[in-house]
Amino acid sequence: MDVWYSIDVVSGREYTVRVNGAGNMDAVVALYNGCGAANNIAGLCADCFGDGGTEEIVFTATSTTTLLIRVYDWDLDIPLGGDFRIRVIQTPIPPSNDLCSGASAVGVGASVNGTNIAATNDPLFFPCGAFGGSGSMVFHTTSVTQTGNGENNVGFSTDFDNTDFDTQLGVYTGTCAAPVCVDADDDSGDGFTSFLPITTTATTNYIVAVRGFSGDRGCYTYSPVQLPSIRNIAAGAAGVGCDVPSNTYSQDVVITYTGAFAGSSLVVEPRHPQTFALTGSPQTVTLTVPANGATVDLTASLTGGTVPAELFDEDDDIALANFAAISSVTVPAVFVARTPCEECEPTCEDIIVNLTGGQCEAIVNYENFNNVVLTATASAIY
């Protein structure tokens, strides 16, 4: 006594036909190209166990077609036949980024939805910090550019609503054949999601591996989020004139930055912090600097502002202080201050009408005894 089922298969896909016989049935399962014993597919017949056993055929379809499944009872005991359960499973296809060689590229500020369902394991990617174990692993690459004397801060994140399982992130440099561990994260995002800030001082290509903790699987969103970053600090023009009483002068500095939060301020420190509203990068700010001829180091920071919702939740581990700490850069020897201020003392018989700024290099107007007004630099007339 036998029963028959049909199954539509796709060429190249793997299938499992599983029959669970009840206690009153020694099930046999076989696969056919058509009706009749002559159409039995060689090797695709299973009868390994007796009554109550589970028989299973695993095969890869060689063409897109319809196949027949025959199930019958090996025993000829009366009554013939028995109870069974049949199940046909199509093996999921691993994601296209299942291996490092197929990693998908995601730029800073972009995002991608993915899954690690049916993902396997790339044995070359060893445990890296909180990124441990093996299996259920998928890959992305992200290139973080940095060409100035500052830094670029990027948060590698799965902390998004679409992420529905316990993720781990492993960040590597190097190549797929020889990865180098940089850092990793397990649960720094909201719930069991991952968030890992990385500081880059030179353009770097990162390999980002995503896996599930303890083999967990599901869907996720991955994004390398741009964080506040001081990218470059450069000297601008020195101001004309010098304040003699305070022995200071004005000096322009050009600050390049990215990722500033809404409402942030730019703080620049030659000696004491000087705060500026953000007007757009690159931004030129004018500092008051001692005129002492010294080499000047500068520290620039992006402070305050409103942290975006995707980076901060009230019940989250991510705090504003974390971002303030990674958005400050000190660059040595940005410029050399001008020499101390000097009073100009006329040595000629001209009557000085106006001497601006108290600096000998300043433009001055003077009037000679013939009431002719001339203009020159103090150094040219003294």
Average pLDDT over residues 247-266: 92
List of residues 6+ apart from 338 with CB closer than 8 A: 238, 242, 249, 291, 293
Q: For residue 48, what are the CA distances in angstroms to 27, 29, 123?
A: 9, 10, 34
**Cα separation, 18 vs 276, whole angstroms:** 70
CA–centroid distance for 193 within its chain: 14
Chain position carrying tokens 């199509």: 90
Q: Taking 90 as the threshold, does the pLDDT of residue 347 lie above it?
A: no
Q: For residue 294, what are the CA distances in angstroms to 3, 274, 330, 332?
A: 95, 19, 17, 12
pLDDT above 70: percentage of residues in the chain: 80
Whole-structure pTM over 0.85, yes or no?
no
pLDDT, position 312: 60
**Cα separation, 342 vs 147, whole angstroms:** 40
- Please give the residue that has the higher pLDDT: either 326 or 195: 195
Instruction: Tell me which of 202-211, 279-288, 321-330 is least confident.
Output: 321-330
Quote the Cα angle for 137-142-143, to 5°.
150
pLDDT, position 132: 75
**Cα separation, 79 vs 19, whole angstroms:** 20
How confident is the model over 18-59, as pLDDT tens digits? Answer: 988 776 777 888 899 888 777 778 777 767 665 566 888 899
Q: 319-350: string of b/e by CB count within 10 Å (b at 16+)?
A: eeebbbebbbbebeebbebbeebeebeeeeee
Question: How many of the other CB atoms lie within 10 Å of CB of 156?
Answer: 28
Residue 365 near residue 269 (C-beta atoms within 8 A): no
**159 phi-psi bin (left φ>0, alpha ψ -120 to 50, beta other):** beta
Average pLDDT over residues 200-217: 91
DSSP state of 128: B
Top-confidence range, 69-78, 228-237, 296-305, 324-333: 228-237
**Confidence bin at 357 (pLDDT 50/70/90):** very low
Instruction: Tell me which of 176-180, 194-198, 330-334, 370-374 is least confident.
Output: 370-374
How confident is the model over 59-76, as pLDDT tens digits? Answer: 989 999 999 998 887 766
Across the strands, what pairs with 347? none
pLDDT, the chain, mean: 82
N-terminal to C-terminal alpha carbon distance within the chain:
123
pLDDT, position 39: 78
Q: Which two tokens stand for residue 375?
A: 């203009």
Q: Taking 90 as the threshold, does the pLDDT of residue 128 lie above it?
A: no
**Cα separation, 123 vs 133, whole angstroms:** 10
pLDDT above 90: percentage of residues in the chain: 44
Average pLDDT over residues 151-160: 92
Q: Taking 50 as the threshold, does the pLDDT of residue 174 lie above it?
A: yes
Q: Taking 60 as the threshold, does the pLDDT of residue 348 lie above it?
A: no
pLDDT, position 224: 95
Instruction: Tell me which of 53-67, 166-180, 193-207, 225-239 is least confident.
Output: 53-67
Average pLDDT over residues 237-242: 88
Quote the Cα angle for 19-22-25, to 5°.
85
